[in-house]
Amino acid sequence: MRGRARKLPPGADPPVTPRLGELPAPPTPPGLLKTSKLVKVYRADGVTVEAVRGVDIEVAIGEFVAIMGPSGSGKSTLLHVLGGLEPATSGEIWLRGKRVDRLSTAAWAILRRQHIGFVFQFFNLLSNMTVADNVELPALLAGATPRQARKRREELLAELGIADKAGAAPARLSGGEQQRVALARALANEPSVLMADEPTGNLDSSNTRDVLRLLRRAHAGGQAILMVTHDARVASLADRVINLYDGMVADDAKIVPIPRPVNGVADVLELRG
């Protein structure tokens, strides 16, 4: 016996039945980080500067997004606001489905411990602590036991090729080694998103390749990355590039990989001093 057709409410569109051989569109990747009409304004001595103006962006879980733009376009400011290092003037920031732009300074600090890893251009390592202590600290602050923090540190330093530097002071390391330590520190608490602000800005081409190789490996393991860079060759590792101009999104485009054999990051980028 045939069932009666269900009556649609007034104004509703009838359901669309896919034709034979036609598949429904794949689901949209879940959102990790999202902003709505985000604004950051600086005011000093009667001068107002709109560093970020109405930015709407979204980063999916496991996505690698590069932020580019000329000097003064608001790249670093945007990253710092997204990570709670600077308060937003207005707009919304959503992380893992929860609105976070209204959090207090203390609440932001807890959120960073649990979900955000930062890598800076100038490393920002604690000079009075060893490499091992620098890397273990974020995991301990996030609630790991000393044994868990030590195990995570040993794994990261071994993967980054600097396990023998665990007892050294940061000042005794090269720039490339310090940036590897900074990367290990940022990954120590297994963050939801890794935010990198010009992570290769102070490195020579050899160390740049090493750091990018490590970022690519982290991304291949499912790590979401939001990276500010001025270098198009560095941005070519990302899934997507957002271009800022005068604090606004001028372009947001996916990177289409070139279909050719790739043996490593050196085959993708030709970095020369």
Per-residue pLDDT of the chain (273 residues; tens, 9 = 90+): 454 555 555 555 555 544 544 445 444 455 899 999 999 999 988 889 999 999 999 999 999 999 999 988 999 999 999 999 999 999 999 999 999 999 999 999 999 988 999 998 888 899 999 999 999 998 898 888 999 999 999 999 998 889 999 999 999 998 889 988 999 999 988 899 999 999 888 888 888 888 888 888 899 999 999 999 988 888 988 999 999 999 999 999 998 766 655 555 555 444 443
Type of residue at 243: N
How far from 193 is each of 71, 117, 119, 207, 223, CA to CA, in Å? Answer: 24, 6, 11, 23, 7
2 assigned to some structural domain: no
Domain count, the chain: 1
CATH number at 120 reads 3.40.50.300
> How many whole angstroms separate alpha carbon 95 and alpha carbon 32?
6
Asked, for residue 258, whether it belongs to a domain, the answer is yes
- The CA R_g of the chain, rounded to the nearest whole Å, is 22
Tokens 């609105």 found at: 99
Distance CA 207, CA 200 (A): 8
- E strands, the chain, in order: 31-44, 47-55, 58-60, 64-68, 90-95, 98-99, 116-119, 193-197, 224-228, 240-245, 248-254
22 falls within a domain: no
Length of the chain: 273
Using DSSP's 3-state secondary structure scheme, residue 153 falls into: helix
Give me the residue label for tokens 């030590």. 150
Q: Does residue 253 sit within a domain?
A: yes
Compute the distance between CA of residue 2 and CA of residue 79 in angstroms, rounded to an integer.
Answer: 59
- Whether 81 maps to a domain, the answer reads yes
Neighbours of 254 (CB within 10 A): 11
Check residue 222 and give its pLDDT: 92
Q: What is the pTM of this model?
A: 0.79
Residue 227 lies in a domain: yes
β-bridge partners, 242 = 67, 252
Distance CA 174, CA 14 (A): 65
Tell me whether residue 206 is in a domain. Answer: yes
Q: Is residue 161 part of a domain?
A: yes
Identify whether the C-beta of residue 53 lies closer than 8 Å to the C-beta of residue 247: yes
Residue 223's domain comprises: 31-268
